[in-house]
Structure 1
Amino acid sequence: MFTHVTLGANDVEASRKFYDAVLGALGHQPGVPSEVPMPGVWYMTPRGMLGVVTPRDGQAACHANGGTIGFAAPNPEAVIAFAEAGVAAGGVAIEDPAGPRSTAFGVMHLAYLRDPSGNKVCAVHRAS
């Protein structure tokens, strides 16, 4: 459904450190710095891209109130690794501790963090 997601960052280097850590915990490669399509760091997979960029309008980056970006985790252990790597790389754990939760869709393993610019991200593992 999606080709890419971009997040604004006030400190691209701090955000690169955070996303290299949390996405690395999920098995992804480090980001690649680029000036196009927007200055920042980009993470590519066969199915899409994540850009962590300096806002194009020159204004300060801010988080989307009510917005969350969820990353697929291959197993419950990766959810915990995502949370630990994110906190170690300057993120802040929010909501309940990382781990299993009962939902309307069954048990899901979740971890929620705020990145260095305040964006809300999570790792999710759903048993198939």
Structure 2
Amino acid sequence: MYSHMMVGSNDIERSKKFYDATFAAIGGNPAIQDDKGRLIYMYNGGLFLVTKPIDGQPATPGNGMTIGIAMETTEQADAWHAAGVAAGGTAIEDPPGVRDSATMTLYLAYLRDPDGNKLCALKRM
């Protein structure tokens, strides 16, 4: 449905440490850094990019925005979450686990990256 996802960062090296760790935990590769300093992650056919804002203003997280990353297993979600916390992210909301709704059962794990962007590892049960 979309071609890519991009988040802003105030510290690209700090973001690289965080995102390299979270992508490695789920079998991804470290970032490719382009000539503009942007980090590019390619995983499962999608692109995830990290950049300093082009308008020169500080990066801020989107209010109400969550970026969901599909997981193959609950163990993969747990590894992603643990790697993110170890690499400077913040665990948020409920601990990783199963969430039931009237329409589906999901396994969710939430983090904020070092710049405050809200991320969610999601495994459909």
TM class by shorter chain equals: over 0.9
Does structure 1 residue 19 correspond to structure 2 residue 19? yes
* Displacement over 3 Å in runs of 4+: none
Note if contact 1:79-1:99 (Cα within 8 Å) is conserved in structure 2.
no
- Supply the RMSD in Å over aligned alpha carbons: 1.2
Q: Aligned equivalents of 2:114 and 2:52: distance in 1?
A: 13
SS at 2:96 equivalent: strand
Aligned length: 125
The alpha-carbon deviation at position 46 of structure 1 amounts to: 5.5
Distance of 2:112 and 2:10 partners within structure 1: 14
Q: Deviations over 1:37-56 (max 9, x none)?
A: xx321001362211101110
TM-score, normalising length from structure 2?
Answer: 0.94
**Cα distance in structure 2, aligned partners of 1:35 and 1:103:** 45
Q: 1:46-125 maps to which residues of 2 (within 5 A)?
A: 47-125=45-123
Deviations 1:68-111, CA, capped at 9 Å, x for gaps = 00000110101111110000000000000011111233221100
Q: Which is richer in strand?
A: 1
